[in-house]
Structure 1
Amino acid sequence: MIRRASLLIAATLAATSVQAQGKLKVGLMLPASGTYAQLGAAIENGFRLHVAEQGGKLGGREVEYVKVDDESDPAKATDNVNKLIKRDNVDVLVGTVHSGVAMAMAKAAKESNTLLIVPNAGADAVTGPMCAPNIFRSSFSNWQPGYAMGDVVAKKGHRKVVTITWKYAAGDESVKGFKESFEKGGGQVVKELTLPFPNVEFQALLTEIAATRPDAVYTFFAGAGAVKFVKDYAAAGLKKSIPLYAAGFVTDGTLEAQGADAEGILTTLHYADSLGSPKDNAFRLAYAKTYKLQPDVYAVQGYDAAQMLGVGLAAVKGDVSRKAEFAAAVEKARIDSPRGAFTVSRAHNPVQDIYLRQVTGHENKLVSVAAKALADPARGCRM
């Protein structure tokens, strides 16, 4: 009887403690306008779907959302993130898409010791030199899809490649990852073409590609820019003569708009449409029912950001101040993701399979696993 009473008291105290903490304030700093608006919406949808599946609570605490449109503008990023931290007193930050904005978020999170989960931006530094016990990523590093594709392209026998991307962190780092493995496989990047973000005037660079006549082209674009690039590449007649390979963001969430111009493109990413696993099937059905849309990689990353947050909060009973225990729980976890189960490295980046996909109709169909359990090297992380 005494033991039962003690257990009852302990359970009551735990419940009271969680209740005393009040609602969990989640600051969503995502793009709601501009080139990446659709990506931000998919991330938020995925995050909210997992929370809804948990009855609207994580770690026993009801979730309250505070939203800021980051406009994919690094110049506004510090002010925007400080609104959430200092004005709104959020418990956790979730964002963002643009790597430049994410770097400002990571700096602010590190300085204020606020929990941050990055549901897209692949800036290598977030889990490299900027790594911290309170910073996590549910997506990828820019290096990962690029590195996997470099190996694929080399094995296909291509020896001279031109790369083309926006001149910003995501594009630069994706190309670096590609170049590292492609050159290791005996290839050579003969030209690295760039244009400022979010410029979509590709014609001069496409003319330069045609004049260079490489064996293949590797590219990184996303959102509306990816739509225009794929259509312009085909319109320039290059699709028929020079194979286009890409990090998967070029064709994720963009296939309806790209139409037949995307057909056959090979990409590498940590998700593919209709992987066919029970977890993925259930996720796709729930997402489609809830939002009347088909999910993409951005929705998966948002969903898994909520899963990671839930794992950490369960271990600390909703108390976000216990960051060391939160981090330890996430580091030990095996996240049951629609992309396939993944773990988290000591630098807090997913260790995950990277898939080779091919555009067939309006789907990024699985071809094979391009890289098994690929871990980002986390260069510069001193955690």
Structure 2
Amino acid sequence: MKTALKLSAVAAALCVSAAVQAQSNAPIKVGLMLPYTGTYAALGNMIENGFKLYVQEQGGKLGGREIQYFKVDDESDPSKGTDNVNKLIKRDQVDVLVGTVHSGVALAMAKAARENDTLLIIPNAGADAITGPMCAPNIVRSSFSNWQPGYAMGVVAGQRGHKRAMTITWNYAAGAETVKGFREGLEKGGGQVIRDLTLPFPNVEFQALLTEIAAQKPDAVYAFFAGGGAVKFVKDYAAAGLKGTIPLYGPGFLTDGTLQAQGPTAQGLETTLHYADNLDTPRNNSFRKNFAITYKANPDVYAVQGYDAAQLLGAGLNAVKGDISKRDALTSAMRKTVVDSPRGKFTISKAGNPVQDIYLRVAKGENNEVKAVAVKALADPARGCKM
């Protein structure tokens, strides 16, 4: 009887050991919730390609673990955000969420990630609340806060002596927050925003608002649009005869990934962002070469953000030798790492947002070329973060 019990105990221990071993060797489940249709589809594809490129460069593994992908189209619809993210959390039981572009959808993802204690890496959406009141140890961002590029362009506009500015954007979280940053930076230089113009997302009927800009004759206009909306706005701004009379500024999304479609109307436009196509560094040159070879296309800032999302995950997994169950150690390592990004090295704040240089860029040909560093090592204020 004693021998039988001992053998049973040994067998049970071996089963547990085998189960643990199998779990430690199982692929890391990465859930990609990105826009694959609609206005932001091209951006979602770039983010995914950037993420997968870094994993490919590491031999298909992060922290010694294979990566298994699950995909959901976020539809750029905040009302569907919770249902869509739960497909990955509850149905697919992913270890890590990666997404998304639309700030409204990202807020739903962040809420679900907090409630389910799921690791979330945000490769674009800049909603300030995510690294503000909604900050959490399991949420980090590889991109920016909406405040960062807006503030930097406000600083530049103020330095140029612009005293009266107008803003125009879609009426949603990203638009309101980037405008808030621009206003803060402009006021620091002695200027003011005299009027904020908005229209519903993804409406692209700009004519009435452009007529109002022409009537008000501000010193400058700050615009936030992206994807197809950015293409039409820049063309309409030029067609209204405003390009040559009232300087148009924006965060980099106004011209990133859209220059070819915008054509001559975008040439000379200045924007602020944490990446520029012609950054002449070994890291960026290597990244751009590998991306072009792999995908037969030139990368943009969205590809960089996807690439760096994978870098962040890799840093965490390397620190715990692939044991994703060691969440505290993993997320701590992600915040302590210095990311060797194509954009230039950056760190992660306690609130989970990149602390990074914001560049002033100019559209030349099909590139957004760096002119200067608008603000160095700019940290988001993380207002409301209690972590």
Q: TM-score, normalised by structure 2?
A: 0.94
Q: Could you tell me which of 271, 274, 287 is aligned with 2:275?
A: 271
Report the AA paired with residue 30 of structure 2.
V
RMSD of equivalent CA atoms: 1.2
Question: Are 1:244 and 2:248 matched, yes or no?
Answer: yes
Instruction: State the partner residue of 1:102.
Output: 106
Report the AA paired with residue 67 of structure 1.
K
Report the AA paired with residue 317 of structure 2.
L
Distance 2:375 2:301 in 1: 17
Q: Deviations over 1:88-108 (max 9, x none)?
A: 000000000000000000000
SS across alignment from 2:369: strand
Q: Deviations over 1:108-131 (max 9, x none)?
A: 000100000000000001111110
Instruction: State the partner residue of 2:233.
Output: 229
Instruction: State the partner residue of 1:145.
Output: 149
Matches within 5 A, 1:1-383: 17=21, 20-383=24-387
Q: Deviations over 1:121-161 (max 9, x none)?
A: 00001111110000000000000000000000011111100
Contact 2:24–2:322, Cα closer than 8 Å, also in 1: no
Q: Deviations over 1:332-361 (max 9, x none)?
A: 110000000000000010000000001111
Unaligned segments of structure 1, at least 5 residues = 1-12
Distance 1:18 1:359 in 2: 51
Identity of aligned residues (%): 71
- Offset at 1:319? 2.0
Contact 1:19–1:61, Cα closer than 8 Å, also in 2: no
- Offset at 1:20? 3.3
Instruction: State the partner residue of 2:14.
Output: none
Change (3 A) 1:351 1:18: farther
Distance 2:219 2:353 in 1: 33
Unaligned segments of structure 2, at least 5 residues = 1-16
Report the AA paired with residue 77 of structure 2.
D
- Offset at 1:316? 1.3
Instruction: State the partner residue of 2:9.
Output: none
- Offset at 1:321? 2.2
Distance 2:364 2:283 in 1: 23
Contact 1:117–1:137, Cα closer than 8 Å, also in 2: yes
Contact 1:18–1:61, Cα closer than 8 Å, also in 2: no
Distance 1:261 1:85 in 2: 43
Contact 1:149–1:247, Cα closer than 8 Å, also in 2: yes
Aligned residues, how many?
370
SS across alignment from 1:101: helix
SS across alignment from 1:25: strand
- Offset at 1:320? 2.0
- Offset at 1:17? 4.2
Distance 2:257 2:22 in 1: 38
Contact 1:164–1:220, Cα closer than 8 Å, also in 2: yes
Report the AA paired with residue 79 of structure 2.
A
SS across alignment from 1:364: strand
Change (3 A) 1:324 1:185: same
Q: Which runs of 4+ in 1 moved over 4 A?
A: 16-19
Distance 1:327 1:20 in 2: 18
Contact 1:163–1:175, Cα closer than 8 Å, also in 2: yes
Contact 2:360–2:373, Cα closer than 8 Å, also in 1: yes
Q: Deviations over 1:32-61 (max 9, x none)?
A: 000000000000000000000011111111
Distance 2:128 2:177 in 1: 7
Contact 1:18–1:319, Cα closer than 8 Å, also in 2: no
Instruction: State the partner residue of 2:5.
Output: none
- Offset at 1:317? 1.8
- Offset at 1:18? 7.5
- My pick for the range that moved more, 352-361 or 312-321, is 312-321
Distance 1:18 1:374 in 2: 43
SS across alignment from 1:341: coil
Distance 1:284 1:262 in 2: 22
Distance 2:261 2:159 in 1: 31
Distance 1:318 1:232 in 2: 50
